[in-house]
């Protein structure tokens, strides 16, 4: 890693006291507001998330990368920020959960890169207490650069006056955003709906952007300096390897950096749809990412031509990698929360059941002989598999046993959403050739 010069660009971390305060809506609104002014806006998301980045990409017009000091790593985060600052007019970083939640937290990331912070506080169910929350968050860690507070979901001018009645004079007030039902971003059990599923999304984003015209966010000038950082080029260990990736409404939980990393390793990438395509492409390896297969059970079940082509790929001992919803799709059957059951591909012998409540959430890693594969898990399902697990992930929270990892010939499956860049050897091994058992610590 080299530091020879700097790039500078206005930057802002959008954080809040907790989840559900409106961070994504406000970040998207800022991105769309400045994009509509002809500015080039680059947005990042702190922590593991697939859904918020889809909204933020629609708002900004550019792909959204993750920033996380543990999963992504400080060096890669620094390189991504420098790279974006070279050409952008504004950098936005949406935080994860509350400002101080997690280890590392959004606050840790902001301190690491000297980033200014906007606090978004949902005012819908409070009045003067708003001031106490703003004061507490601003002064809890004096090393943070809190540049302002924005009140979200304010119902009226009278409500805004109540909020400001006791507001501390030493904290910049950046204004209030009124409750706007027509611009609300709809949700389901895993979070926001996918961008492609939200009706009139651009209209909603423009409405949100319009709410900023009377706030202090209409003139951002928080210039931030980013040191030049270059990453060591990867060896082309997947050169001429053709990888086909499932990508449609049922399988969309794909980190942009994972695809970028496969290309850096030399792989040729093609996308296909298990929902609509009659068969999978002729490829050296297949990747089935997570998503919402439970919302498309009938269509996935009825596409038997796709099933047959996947089984044929496996019969020729070609690599198949599946995570979370992709793993469930390769199983014998999935049963949704209403008891509706459908047959799936039948490659991985087992059955999945979707539950109304979350069954696992958090950062986890897979121990390897040469390090670790980092990632996270987030699912509402359980999976009973006839195949004995070959390894287990480890929960970062307490070091306890995490998700099961299944391996059978060149099939590799787990609930873990992996960050490929954390282990180039693992990535090249799983997608490139026979899985090397010596890479795993049993």
Per residue in 132-162, pLDDT (tens digit) is 999 999 999 999 999 999 999 999 999 999 9
Closest CA to 429 of 306, 252, 294, 262: 262
- Report pTM: 0.92
- pLDDT over 50 at 165, yes or no: yes
∠411-292-404 over CA atoms, to 5°? 40
- Catalytic site residue 237? no
Specify the range with the lowest mean pLDDT, choosing from 133-142, 396-405, 428-437. Answer: 428-437
Tell me if 6-227 shares its fold with 242-439: yes
The average pLDDT across 246-255 equals 97
- 38-47, 52-61, 177-186, 248-257: which range is least confident on average? 177-186
For 376-394, how does the pLDDT look when each residue is reduced to its tens digit (9 = 90+)? 999 999 999 999 999 999 9
Give residue for tokens 């391996």.
407
For tokens 């952008």, the residue is 88
Q: CA-CA distance, 211 to 25, in Å (whole number)? A: 11
Per-residue confidence (pLDDT) for residue 199, from 0 to 100: 61
Which string of DSSP letters, residue by residue, matches 168-180? -TTS-EEEEEE--
pLDDT band at 442; cut points 50, 70, 90: very low
Q: 97 near 15, Cβ under 8 Å?
A: no
Lowest mean pLDDT across 194-198, 311-315, 394-398: 194-198
Mean pLDDT of 352-357: 95
The pLDDT value recorded for residue 441 is: 44
d(Cα 372, Cα 374) in Å, to the nearest integer? 6
CATH code given to domain 242-439: 3.40.50.880
pLDDT band with cut points at 50, 70 and 90 for residue 214: confident
Residues with Cβ within 8 Å of 209's Cβ and at least 6 positions away in sequence, in order, are 29, 30, 32, 33, 36
- Spans of all domains in the chain: 6-227, 242-439
pLDDT band at 267 (very low <50, low <70, confident <90, very high): very high
Annotated catalytic residue, options 9, 77, 280, 324: 324
Q: Is the pLDDT of residue 180 over 80?
A: no
Does residue 222 contact residue 416 with C-beta atoms inside 8 Å? Answer: no
Residue 5 — very low, low, confident or very high, per pLDDT cuts 50/70/90? confident
pLDDT-above-70 percentage for the chain:
92
- pLDDT band at 186, cuts 50/70/90? low
State the pLDDT confidence band at 291, using cuts at 50, 70 and 90: very high
Question: Residue 438 above 80 pLDDT?
Answer: no
Average pLDDT in the chain: 92
Find all residues with CB under 8 Å of 335, minimum gap 6, and list them. 341, 351, 352, 353, 354
Give the mean model confidence (pLDDT) for residues 175-190. 70
Residue 3 pLDDT greater than 80, yes or no = no
CATH number for the region 6-227 comes to: 3.40.50.300
Say if residue 100's pLDDT is above 80: yes
d(CA 219, CA 411): 52
């Amino acid at each position: 890693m080299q530091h020879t010069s700097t790039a500078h660009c206005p930057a802002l971390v959008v954080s809040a006291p907790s989840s559900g305060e409106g961070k994504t809506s406000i970040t998207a609104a800022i991105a769309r507001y400045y994009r509509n002014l002809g500015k080039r806006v680059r947005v990042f998301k702190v922590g593991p998330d697939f859904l918020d980045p889809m909204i933020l990409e629609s708002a900004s017009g550019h792909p959204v990368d993750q920033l996380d000091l543990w999963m992504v790593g400080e060096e890669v985060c620094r390189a991504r920020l420098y790279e974006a600052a070279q050409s952008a007019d504004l950098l936005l970083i949406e935080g994860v959960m509350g400002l101080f939640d997690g280890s590392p937290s959004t606050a840790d990331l902001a301190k690491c890169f000297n980033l200014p912070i906007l606090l978004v506080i949902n005012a819908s169910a409070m009045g003067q207490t708003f001031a106490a929350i703003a004061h507490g968050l601003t002064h809890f860690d004096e090393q943070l650069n809190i540049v302002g507070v924005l009140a979200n979901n304010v119902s009226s001018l009278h409500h805004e006056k109540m909020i400001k009645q006791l507001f501390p004079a030493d904290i910049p007030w950046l204004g209030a955003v009124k409750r706007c039902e027509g611009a609300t971003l709809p949700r389901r059990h895993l979070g926001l709906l996918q961008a492609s599923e939200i009706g009139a999304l651009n209209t909603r984003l423009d409405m949100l952007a319009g709410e900023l015209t009377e706030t202090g966010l209409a003139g951002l000038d928080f210039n931030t300096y980013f040191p030049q950082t270059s990453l060591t080029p990867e060896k082309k260990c997947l050169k001429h390897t053709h990888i086909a990736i499932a990508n449609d409404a049922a399988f969309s939980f794909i980190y942009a950096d994972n695809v970028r990393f496969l290309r850096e390793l030399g792989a040729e990438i093609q996308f296909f749809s298990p929902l609509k395509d009659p068969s999978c492409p002729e490829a050296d390896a297949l990747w089935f990412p997570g998503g919402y297969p439970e919302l498309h059970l009938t269509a996935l079940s009825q596409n038997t031509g796709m099933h047959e082509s996947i089984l044929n790929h496996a019969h020729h001992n070609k690599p198949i990698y599946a995570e979370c919803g992709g793993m469930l799709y390769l199983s014998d059957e999935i049963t949704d929360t209403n008891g509706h059951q459908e047959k799936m591909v039948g490659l991985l012998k087992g059955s999945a059941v979707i539950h109304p409540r979350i069954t696992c959430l958090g950062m986890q890693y897979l121990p390897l002989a040469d390090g670790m594969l980092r990632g996270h898990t987030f699912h509402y399902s359980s999976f009973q598999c006839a195949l004995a697990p070959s390894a287990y992930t480890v929960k970062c929270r307490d070091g306890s046993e995490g998700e099961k990892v299944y391996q059978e010939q060149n099939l590799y499956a787990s609930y873990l959403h992996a960050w490929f860049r954390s282990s180039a050897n693992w990535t090249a091994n799983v997608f490139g050739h026979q899985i090397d058992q010596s890479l795993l610590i049993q």
